[in-house]
Amino acid sequence: MDRQDFTRIARERAVPWRRVAYLICGDWGRAEDLVQAALLRMYKHWHRIEPRGLEAYARKVISRLALDEAKRASRRKEVLGEVPDRPAAQFDEEVDGAPEVRAALKAMPPRQRAVIVLRFYADLDVAATAKALGITQGTVKSQCSRGLDSLRAALGPHHAALATRTPERTGGSR
């Protein structure tokens, strides 16, 4: 089989493979991503794939990719015994306390404010925040800790539920 065969087969089989991926993962968007990743792997190893084993190989690659993704996702999940640090709603005027939170954020040093906003409003993890700001992960953690302390002090007991614990102190990376 040559590269033209790959193109033809990929066009013919992409939709059925996406259905298989959907049944495995339960999400059409993720299913499409899984098929694209599987096609990429198949393309890399096309010269070694036996034509009669193509369907089985495709299903195997799709399944393994889906399972690997699920394992990674389950490792990122964490069980919280109390309210998380980030709000459930956007910082709109309707959210109780939003003006006070915005005022407290404005009072923070710029890097501290950027860390808090990226971590808890944009929902980035420590590594992504560090990369976005061009600083180390340790700096993100220390700035986050100081920023949350600053928010607690500025907002007082009225907003005691805000950041009752920081992710860094619990051992997580979020």
The encoded tokens of residue 49 equal 């794939």
pLDDT-derived band of residue 171, with 50, 70 and 90 as boundaries? very low
Q: Is the separation of the CB atoms in 139 and 132 below 8 Å?
A: no
Q: Is the separation of the CB atoms in 62 and 38 below 8 Å?
A: yes
**Distance (Å, whole) CA 59 – CA 40:** 14
Q: What is the pLDDT of residues 69-85, one digit of tens each?
A: 876 765 555 555 555 55
Phi, psi of 116 (to 5 degrees): -60, -45
Q: What is the pLDDT of residues 104-122, one digit of tens each?
A: 877 887 678 777 877 886 6
pLDDT at 130: 84
- Establish how many alpha carbons lie within 13 A of residue 97's alpha carbon, considering only the half-sphere containing its beta carbon: 17
6 pLDDT above the threshold of 60: yes
**Dihedral angle sign, alpha carbons of residues 101, 102, 108, 113:** positive
The encoded tokens of residue 81 equal 């015994």
Most confident range, picked from 18-32, 57-71, 120-134, 144-158: 144-158
pLDDT at 32: 93
Report how far Cα 89 is from the mean position of its chain's Cα atoms: 18
Residue partners of 138: CB distance under 8 A and separation at least 6: none
pLDDT at 79: 54
Q: Is the separation of the CB atoms in 29 and 21 below 8 Å?
A: no
Helix (H) or strand (E) run with residue 76 in it: helix 54-76
pLDDT-derived band of residue 24, with 50, 70 and 90 as boundaries? confident
Residue partners of 164: CB distance under 8 A and separation at least 6: 82, 83, 85
pLDDT at 170: 37
**Distance (Å, whole) CA 63 – CA 20:** 9
